[in-house]
Chain A
Amino acid sequence: MILNHIIVLIPISLLVFSFITFLLGTVRRSLAYPTALVGSAISVACSVVGLILVLQGGPIHYYLGGWPPPIGIEYVLDYLSAFMAVLTTFIGFISIVYSRKSFAQELPHKVVPLYTITLLLLSGLCGIIVTGDLFNLYVFLEIASLTAYALLAVGEKRAPVAAFRYVIMGTVGACFYLLGVGFIYFSTGTLNMADAAKLLPAIYDSRAIIAAAVFIVIGIGLKMALFPMHSWLPDAYTYAPSAVISLIAPLMTKVFAYVLIRMLISVFLPEYLSDVIPATLVIGWLAAAGIVIMSIMAIAQDDFRRMLAYSSLAQICYVALGIGLANPLGLIGGMLHILNHAFMKGCLFQVAGAIRYRTGLTSISKFNGLGKKMRWTMGSFGIAALSMIGIPPACGFFSKWYLMLGSIDAGNWVFVGVIALSSLLNAVYFFKIIEKVFFAQPDDDIVENAAEPPKEMLVPIVIMAVAIIALGLVNVYIVTNILEPVVNHVFN
């Protein structure tokens, strides 16, 4: 019986547990961590069960309050959303495991609200993923954004300024999205995605729909930090607490990329966004430019986290490139890159946090010889870095492979060149670190005294690193069983 409700349990369990965490945490601070852990474990279980159900029996539709659409709010767990839900909850779980020691060192007095807000954030993200209703998506989007603002603000001295900038840009993005939804609603009279997708083709030429598409794409583009709307991201990522950023960096922008994909495949349909208005073309070229420029910016950084932030920007452009290609293989590449990049960036930011935890270092130029002291951590870093560069069989290679095939199908040689060039640029900034970490002599007392981080931090890092290799090897199962049905459904 509970299986019927699995879809709504994913966000609701997180929501309920966020408040349980708060209540128990007020009673006793040490209870916050285990409660949060239990809550996110339950959500992982729910989403895994959901994925299994979807793989067995196809998409699940759930009508909130028993009202069928278009009146009521519909939750949909199709292949893509089930996959994203598993990804989100799993990364959330891993980073909560990771966060304990990090919070204990950096922000010991704010543990209870931090865990509450973290669970709320996850709940918002899961809500974004499972909802099939355009306005409901806005509500969850705001929940996720508000909690993210709060989490990002508690970091270093400069964090609030960065978070404030994020608030402004994020609000503009969300409002643009809301405006676009308004245009859709007043043109079609529905807020349900599937319903809108049915009604929209009849009025594709309407100026209102064009406006809706433009507003939604810009709004989501701001939220996912698509080049050139990225200016809020580097500061926000650089100054946030390590544990927070290892949760937000893999998830936030990816989930918004997912929203863009969802708009593309289940609201507007690709033929509209690629033919009637050349939105995908614009996204694709912006992404191509973004990949190159952001990678070059990443090379210029000395702060490890800032470098990773710029690298994130470049990587989110890969997803956007897949969306911009708007053909089956490109889209598969983009979606697969959401998964891959979530794991790679999660691992890298966790490594950054671990280094900071043990040594307090954030500047790459001081990393000399760290590999000898933190073998497992830096080994995992090496795997993640190689995956970012695109060395097979790590997973990063495969998303680039599909994107490349998609670009070839689209006949766009510039994109092919950009993908190849970007892996070289990735190599430049990652090998700069690998060289220092593994092959330079330690020249610093801090490094000499460094040691492996505690097990609670190390285990998540290693799990992520192993997952990076494993995902590369099993990517074909994900592609054929989960992503291809999504794409075939749209492009047949």
Chain B
Amino acid sequence: MSWEIGLIIVVVVIISAIVALSIRDLLAASFVLMAYSFGMALLYTELGAPDVGFTEAAVGAGLSGVFIIAALYYMKRRSDD
């Protein structure tokens, strides 16, 4: 994989990490977090760990996000910071 793509993913990952933490809508934050996890999964794959990437995509991007969304069913979506 070429380094340009790697760089793009890294930038996306860092930006999505910051956005996930600063966005005030928690549901949106959880989606951004899933995007972040997916970016990480791509990074892992690029670094030669496809099975970790696979797991991260399934577990980190999938299950964690679903957990958060499921929990948000019962909570306020707004955050003050």
Direct contact between the two chains A and B in their complex (CB within 8 A): no
On B, residues with C-beta under 8 Å from A are none
On A, residues with C-beta under 8 Å from B are none
